[in-house]
Structure 1
């Protein structure tokens, strides 16, 4: 089981921020071979959910209250380090994130933009597809909603 920490941007240490950006870059830029602007000016408004294994960041999401990203509360930048994916940490970080949205934002409707190959993963967490598939940074995505 991972040790989880949830922090606002203002509460992140320099090391926290470095670890987050390093993990996001490792997966979204290098592994997925996708050149995109990760630093989008939204981290300052997000809650950051960090999952640690032996003090190393291996899972992460960022959360937004309703109206800040979508009309609904939202979860984004869902990530698990490549060498840790066999442990189902994706489910752990998502369950903590869903609970955090209820606790911090008092919201139960959650929207996310999912890479299409992960639809089943999100279906297993109670999300369903809404609308058509679309390309985001050259990768097929679909909007998904949890009520």
Structure 2
């Protein structure tokens, strides 16, 4: 998997379409969750894109401190269902963490994790903060990496 990091303005039309299609396939269809994915925040984010054979198979969006949370943050973490067995989730997260450190020169990173993925994020150095909560009808927990 090849990983690139782009500002919103740098995304090609087809690339943006592929990102939104992947997010919709997983978050709306697979997880059976109707929610507003196009939330206006993509324009402020940096987009971490994992491609395999020129197809988007993994993705996150990252924010600097104050752009989403008070801390730098990672969101919309997604890997195409049939590609999950290759470790792309870990790769895209490691690239996202490094991008935040390089771009914003900070080490504290916050994310809102679906609770079933808590161990995945714990293995990447995140710890739970606070109680679980529902976000778009799906159990989540806030997690921070310092």
Q: Work out whether the TM-score is over 0.5.
A: yes
TM range (shorter): over 0.9
Q: How does 1:2-21 map to 2 (within 5 A)?
A: 2-21=1-20
TM superposition score normalised by structure 2: 0.99
Q: How does 1:95-134 map to 2 (within 5 A)?
A: 95-134=94-133
SS at match of 1:43: coil
Aligned residue in 2 for 1:26: 25
Deviating 4+ runs (over 3 angstroms): none
Q: Distance in 1 between matches of 2:63 and 2:20?
A: 18
Q: Distance in 2 between matches of 1:99 and 1:138?
A: 31
Aligned residue in 2 for 1:53: 52
Aligned length: 146
TM superposition score normalised by structure 1: 0.98
**RMSD across aligned C-alpha pairs, in angstroms?**
0.4
Aligned residue in 1 for 2:69: 70
Q: Distance in 2 between matches of 1:146 and 1:7?
A: 23
Deviations 1:48-87 (A, max 9, x none): 0000111110000000000011010000000000000011
Deviation at 1:17, TM superposition (A): 0.7
Structure 2: stretches of 5+ with no match in the other structure: none
